[in-house]
Amino acid sequence: MLIKLSAGTVYDPANGIDGEVRDLYIRDERLVENPGPDAVIDTEYDLRGKVVMAGAIDMHTHIGGGKVNVARTLMPELCRDEPVPGGCLTRSGCSHATPTTLLTGYRYAEMGYTAAFEPAVMPSNARQAHLEMADIPILDTGGYAMLGSDDFLLRLLAEGAEQERINDYVAWTLHASQCLGIKVVNPGGISAFKFNGRKLDLDDRNPYYRITPRQILQTLCRSLYELGVPHPLHVHASNLGVPGNFRTTLDTMDAADGLPMHLTHIQFHSYGTEGDHSFSSAAAEIAEAINSKAHITADIGQIMFGQTVTASGDTMKQYANHRHASPSKWVCMDIECDAGCGVVPFRYRDRNFVNAMQWAIGLEIFLMVDDPWRVFLTTDHPNGAPFTSYPHLIRLLMDRSFREDMLLRINPEAAAHSRLQGLTREYTLYEMAIMTRAGPARILGLRDRGHLAAGGYADITVYEDLANREQMFERPVYVFKNGELIVRNGDICALTKGATHTVRPEFDSGIERPLKDYFDRYHSIRLENFKISNDEMTGSIGSRIMPAACTARGKA
Amino acid sequence: MDNKTSGTTHHNTVCPFCGLCCDDLTVRVNVDEATVTANGCTLGARGFAQPAADTRQPLIQGKTCTVEQAVQHAAGLLRSARLPLFGGLGTDVDGARAAIKLADHIGATLDHMNSEALLRNLLAVQDSGWMTCTLTEVRNRADLLVMFGSSAEQRLPRFYERFFNNQESMFGLGADERRLVLIGDGAASSVMQGDPRVTAIPCPTHRLGDIAAAMRTLLRGRPLQQKSVAGVSVVQLQDLVNRLAHAHYGVIGWLAAELDFPHAELAVQAISALAVDLNSNTRCSGLPLGGNNGDTTFVQVATSQTGYPTRISLGGNQARYGPLQNATDRLLADNEADILVWISAFDAERKPPASAIPGIVLGHAAMQCDPAPEVFFPVATPGIDHAGNIYRCDSAVNLPLRALRSTGLPAVAAVLNSITGHL
């Protein structure tokens, strides 16, 4: 099967192509070079005047695993209020904040996304995460395994284990949980909460293990660097949502000791204490730090106004935030000496000073970070807003006058405090392609995705070049996944099955000796049953595995 | 797996026959006979020992037929049905996936056989949330375990062995330092009674919610005018509140299936709210226990795919949740179903309810139905006859089920997907 995409305007930042009219060729699953005049083209699409990008990649979205199901369980009213009927090809589903698994795939694909990554996979809950992601049609998926409050790691650190041992455990975890990155959530804080700790700053000691969040961050950053895992440590920093937390965030950046570190949903970690409400934007300080520290990347976790549900591994902070629950019901779970989960429904109100500031802070960081390769477009779905609000967010970033119109609608005191009025920047299509395609692919080590060069997988999205960028990005004209046309004029026209991206760093399997002892003595399941085998992934779980390349580096 | 003359021995086998899903069993398989030889319990021993009867063929109106004929007949019945109902739903993840897919296709209603018990928890959490923990946390952290109800030993036979009598724990808490309080009907006759670490507080089971509500009041420092609640002195309740308030990590457990009285969800709500309240100063978690026949598994898969846990109507091309309306018994009694698809792959004894409407039964191969349903498919048992996945009762942990023998019986998912393919 040879497909020709003719004369589209191509934005392919990975290859430096900024709005050039080009032909693209797809043979079966992949992009190929021009096959020459004698080749028989099976299908040709005339893309004159249309915008062509790689399929979009969401590098941080809660789409699989226990906490999403807890959120659905807690909030059946979201499903009741927003049922989505099935179609000829599609199954029924519901809810935009906690969309059902199949609907998640349809909605992402309809917006031109072809891959999405679950950032908080507890190793003990990894089967559930993969089972649910395997049910999501079309999209490639993958997960970041959560470490940093698991008792095995904390015991190693407390014993003063060598870095090599830690590296073995980190690598073992990536294999056992079939993940492609490591995330740390409130480092050591989920554990501290189990010992009745309610607060843990970067240099505070865990009430039991006497080690600090800084040590955990340093050790894990170094592990991933030395193992050669492409994605740097994915950090949900300490003190989420706490006014004044921007100082912790700046200190967290320095805790990386210059090694690569990704700070996630950084909007929730960029708060100052100025003003009458003792709540202010520290976006300028955070953006300046990102601009000056080349080892740091961040995704935003933009909030949007409306009802959503927050779901996080950060039980310490979710418990503290439960008084803001709207409606007033919430769940916290301590899970398997591994981590935890807290689910708190939230309604962000544009007339509320703090919520309006949160909205402005996210946009300020987007607009003040200079390098689009180091910032990523997320709402921390569903925590800041459902992922379906991306087209609206894109318009806010690309269209200054629209942004200023929206600024008039929020709490006027917050609008007056915000720098947004003075920020004239408008993201270009090229920058948007970096932030939603080339950047995520690069930071995840996905060499065959996020670009349009020959040899890459043909994950391609084609848009009308509409002045209204929200309309443009919410309904692509065509979306191809692995070379197959799956969306036409914003509607699903074929269903495919994606794969699970993983990473396979080398390690000394001798780590299984202390692990087996740990599982036998303390755990409720056996080591052998904890690990997810490749056969189980492709068998009962039901997803193909695609390991990303991984080359060990020397000592950091 | 190691081959011996007496068959094949499988270690670290996951037992799917109660909500604990213990995964440390040794099971010996000799031709078709599976026997638990280590780490078993009454429920596991019975479950694994159910005969495989792999010579059984599908039946149409009690007469042997091929799988293909049975599938075609079932598909025909479902094509002409207007109000199909899927009950039982005792299956693994793949079986649940296939059932929901088929139900969505034909607009059926789905109701797990354990929905009454499941909803006691679900209605409570949907109304007010809760704080809970999982079994490994109990094993390592719980210095005080308070059980509202006393049927754990029957329904989860290894619960105390694995999560209270464990010698090892991670934070220096020895087995002799843990304490257990049993509240309820059977408290005084429990196997745990007589252990010096155990306090029994007998009271009628249907008053457990009142006990929890009184304890919440005492925890807030408010006085109670009564001298006793449900036959338990307020002094004793105050003492228990104090013990929970001074515990490092209290755990408050209950088994929804045992709370078999009207509006037991209010009792669950009071019990779980007590656990939540204690977290103002110390740590405490609720522990919803129980389950079998893949109930947690169905709830997890259904919630992720439809948004709702059970009693889901997929008619009219969209999911609707009817925790009361969509009950199998009610739908059958009110003639609001015209065909019943009954699934019970783990337990030959969980048979379809008596009904005048035609039935398609996907039953454990040893199941005997009388009268014979319109179509009977003998199906494989997940974790014995085929590989799969099952959720433990704490919902957070999913375990791998493995094929221990080869019987040639089809899995629930295979039968249902085949029917879907014929529609």
Q: What is the pLDDT of residues B136-167, one digit of tens each?
A: 999 999 999 999 999 999 999 999 999 999 99
Interface predicted TM-score (ipTM) of this complex, two decimals: 0.97
Identify all chain B residues contacting A70, using CB atoms and an 8 Å cutoff: 395
SS3 B292: coil
3-state SS, residue B190: coil
In sequence order, the 6+-apart residues with CB closer than 8 A to the CB of A278 are A243
Which long-range contacts does A465-469 make (Cβ < 8 Å, 24+ apart)? Answer: A465/A9, A465/A49, A465/A50, A465/A51, A468/A395, A469/A391, A469/A394, A469/A395, A469/A398, A469/A399
What is the pairing mode between strands A375-376 and A113-121? unpaired
B residues 159-198 near A, CB within 8 Å? 162-163, 168-171
Q: How many residues comprise chain A?
A: 556
Within A63-150, where are the H helices?
66-74, 76-81, 101-110, 126-135
Chain A residue with Cα closest to B314: A92
A-facing residues of B in 53-72 (CB < 8 A) are none
pLDDT over 50 at B3, yes or no: no
| pLDDT surpassing 50 at residue B1 | no
Q: What is the pTM of this model?
A: 0.98
Across the range B37-49, mean pLDDT stands at 97
Q: For residue A126, give the 3-state DSSP assignment.
A: helix
Distance of alpha carbon B46 from alpha carbon A526, whole angstroms: 23
Of B12, B104, B285, the CB nearest to A86: B104
CB atoms within 10 A of CB B407: 20
Of the candidates A280, A274, A282, A220, the one whose C-alpha atom is nearest the C-alpha of residue A250 is A282
β-strand pairing of A233-236 with B2-4: unpaired
pLDDT value for A3: 98
Most B CBs within 10 A among A81, A524, A529, hence the mutation to make, goes to A524
Please, where are the H alpha helices in B342-423?
412-421
A189 contacts A200 by C-beta, under 8 angstroms:
yes
Q: Retrieve residue A39's tokens.
A: 């080749």
Encoding tokens for residue B179? 């304490």
In the numeric block, which tokens belong to residue B1?
Answer: 């797996």
What percentage of chain B has pLDDT greater than the value 70?
Answer: 98
Q: Is A297 helix (H, G, I), strand (E, B) or coil?
A: strand
Summarised one tens digit per residue, pLDDT across range B240-278 is 999 999 999 999 999 999 999 999 999 999 999 999 999
Q: Of A132, A342, A302, A89, give the one whose Cα is nearest residue B130.
A: A342
Written as six digits, the tokens of A257 are 């000791």
B395 contacts A540? CB cut-off 8 A: no
Q: Flag whether pLDDT at B125 surpasses 80.
A: yes
Residues 6+ apart with CB under 8 A from B305: A91, A93, A100, A101, A102, A135, B97, B100
Structure tokens at B322: 């009817």
Answer positive or negative: Cα dihedral of B301, B304, B307, B309. positive
Q: State whether residue A309 is helix, strand or coil.
A: strand
Closest CA of chain A from B24, distance in Å = 7
Sheet of B339-344, strand order: B63-64, B59-60, B375-379, B359-364, B339-344, B84-90, B109-110, B312-313, B320-321
Q: With an 8 Å Cβ cutoff, are B129 and A343 in contact? A: yes
Q: By CB neighbour count within 10 A (0-12 exposed, 13-18 middle, 19+ buried), where does A502 fall? A: buried
Three-state SS for A263?
A: strand
Q: For residue B2, what pLDDT is reported?
A: 46
Q: Residue written as tokens 């740097």?
A: A232
First to last CA, chain A: 47
What's the whole-number average pLDDT of chain B?
95
Residue B35 near residue B49, CB atoms below 8 Å: yes
Asked if residues B412 and B363 have their Cβ atoms less than 8 Å apart, the reply is no
Beta carbons within 10 angstroms of residue A158's beta carbon: 15
Q: What percent of the residues of chain A are helix, what percent strand, and what percent coil, each to the nearest 5?
A: 40, 25, 40
Round to whole Å and give the CA distance between A436 and A441.
Answer: 9
pLDDT at B312: 98
Where is A376: in which H helix or E strand? strand A375-376
Distance from CA of A140 to the nearest CA of B (A): 18
Residue B6 has a pLDDT of 61
pLDDT tens for chain A, 556 residues: list them.
999 999 999 999 999 999 999 999 999 999 999 999 999 999 999 999 999 999 999 999 999 999 999 999 999 999 999 999 999 999 999 999 999 999 999 999 999 999 999 999 999 999 999 999 999 999 999 999 999 999 999 999 999 999 999 999 999 999 999 999 999 999 999 999 999 999 999 999 999 999 999 999 999 999 999 999 999 999 999 999 999 999 999 999 999 999 999 999 999 999 999 999 999 999 999 999 999 999 999 999 999 999 999 999 999 999 999 999 999 999 999 999 999 999 999 999 999 999 999 999 999 999 999 999 999 999 999 999 999 999 999 999 999 999 999 999 999 999 999 999 999 999 999 999 999 999 999 999 999 999 999 999 999 999 999 999 999 999 999 999 999 999 999 999 999 999 999 999 999 999 999 999 999 999 999 999 999 999 999 999 999 999 988 888 888 7
The residue assigned the tokens 């899970």 is A335
Gap from A206 CA to chain B (nearest CA, Å): 14
Closest in B162, B170, B300 to A151, CB measured:
B170
Q: How far apart are alpha carbons B404 and B12 in whole angstroms?
A: 12
- B126 pLDDT higher than 50: yes
Would you call A171 helix, strand, or coil by DSSP?
Answer: helix
Name the percent of chain B lying above pLDDT 90: 92
CA B323 from chain centre, in angstroms, equals 17
Using CB atoms, pick whichever of B282, B305, B399 lies closest to residue A101. B305
pLDDT above 90: residue B14: yes
Distance from CA of B79 to the nearest CA of A (A): 17
Beta strands A17-27; A2-12: pairing state: antiparallel
The tokens of B79 are what? 């094509």
